[in-house]
Amino acid sequence: MTINIILLKFLNLKYKLFGGIEMVEKKVVIKNETGIHARPASMIVQLANKYGAEVTLGKDGNEVNAKSIMGIMSLGVSKSTEVTVKAEGEDAQDAVNALVELLESGFGE
């Protein structure tokens, strides 16, 4: 038991020391009437591009690069769909927070 805790703490320390290759994930339900069309897709891409992390958007097991407008539009997300925002890399947590906020805000529509 004690050895495990030490191992865990060591791993956490290593994690913190190396700046953390975090993988962060969060699910959001899309609210706006017409789902993710050109304007929201543009907003998502432009926001995702602000972060160094690799960001993906997933639906029903399909994952696309959130920095790719074609990728996002090809996901075909409509109202009431649940999507998964995932990010991996340095600012992953920030990226996910920002994107989730955007998706939950209904893109100002």
List of residues contacting another protein (CB under 8 A):
32-34, 37-39, 41-42, 45-46, 64-65, 67-71, 73-74, 76, 78, 109
Distance from C-alpha of 52 to C-alpha of 30, rounded to nearest angstrom: 25
**Least separation in angstroms between CB 66 and another protein:** 10
Taking the C-alpha atoms of residue 58 and residue 40, their distance in angstroms, rounded to an integer, is 16
Q: Where are the beta strands (DSSP E) in the chain?
A: 22-29, 54-59, 62-65, 82-89
Closest separation in Å from C-beta 107 to another protein: 9
User: Which of 26, 37, 54, 65 does the annotation list as catalytic?
Assistant: 37
Q: Please state the closest distance from residue 46 (CB atom) to another protein, in A.
A: 8
Tell me, yes or no, if 37 is annotated catalytic: yes
Question: Could you give the CA distance from residue 59 to residue 27 in angstroms, rounded to a whole number?
Answer: 10
Tell me which residues are annotated as active site.
37
